[in-house]
Amino acid sequence: MSIAARTPVETEHKSPSPRTPDIGGRPPIRHRTGGGGGGGDNEPDGGRGPQERLYRYRPGMFFFLAADAMFFSALVASFFVLQSSTHIDPRTQQFVNTWHAVPLPRILWWNTLVLMLSSVSMELARRHMFREVDVMDEWLGLGKPAARRAFPWVTLTFLLGVAFLTGQWIAWRELQARHLIFASNQSSHFFYLLTGLHAVHVLMGMVGLLAALIGLYAAARLETRQILVDLSAWYWHAMGIFWIFFFVLLVWFQ
């Protein structure tokens, strides 16, 4: 019985691909759906179930962050070129380098720690949004346990983001007190450029966190809430990685 039932299925596997068109460009009869929404004919090809939208949004975020990473790496490349650029002193006829390393304010170390902690709290929030038991409860309409658990961690991340930006502001003020402003020399120019652009990106991330916080309560669909927290988390982690990259550059490669 089972052998007899299996044989026709094997024959089906040897048949042409489902995408091979039949007469009139239509798919073969056995691959046509009956319409009316039954038989999965409303699902896109290769559907991934309830997280379909999430899996569509994530690559979008990846390519956005990849473009951002290339932008920052171009800045770092110009940092290396200008750092080592020289001109000939007409008096001595020798190469002279006018790059003066910026003395980094001590608070930058604390800022780095704060940003790392915020990354940890954001990851905890993201994991709470995908905790199977809570997700199932939300899906069944039994409250919003996942959102309720994630909310404090997203809030903490937001507050740590505020602390990081405040720390950066204090660092800039400290340098200004030492008369190191944007136009002082090439190294200070790069310091303000890198830290300033990174701060703008962190600010954008905080707008994303705010949207996630609002979405945790206001968004009707579980998947929308997951997407908001998940994408904010990936963005936030990327900002953390970028900052470590810049910090290492400023501390050890000036």
Partner 1 sequence: MAYAQGCSQCRDNVNAASPKTQQGYRRAIGVMLVMGCGLFLAGLLVAKGYRKPSSSRQDISIN
Q: Which residues bind partner 1 (CB under 8 A)?
A: 5, 8-9, 12-13, 18, 30-31, 40, 45-47, 55, 59, 62-63, 66, 69-70, 73-74, 76-78, 80-86, 95, 97
Closest separation in Å from C-beta 46 to partner 1: 3
Three-class SS state of 87: strand
Distance CA 185, CA 204 (A): 28
Indicate the residue among 73 and 176 with the shorter CB distance to partner 1: 73
Contact criterion met (CB below 8 Å) for 128 and 150? yes
Closest separation in Å from C-beta 182 to partner 1: 22
Indicate the residue among 58 and 149 with the shorter CB distance to partner 1: 58
Indicate the residue among 13 and 106 with the shorter CB distance to partner 1: 13
Closest separation in Å from C-beta 183 to partner 1: 22
Q: Is 120 exposed, middle or buried (CB count within 10 Å of its CB: 0-12, 13-18, 19+)?
A: middle
Closest separation in Å from C-beta 73 to partner 1: 4
Indicate the residue among 6 and 173 with the shorter CB distance to partner 1: 6
Place of tokens 């602390």: 163
Distance CA 61, CA 53 (A): 13
Which one-letter DSSP state was computed for residue 95?
E
Indicate the residue among 171 and 194 with the shorter CB distance to partner 1: 194
- Per-residue tokens: 10: 């094997």
What are φ and ψ of residue 202, in 5° steps?
-65, -40
Closest separation in Å from C-beta 67 to partner 1: 9
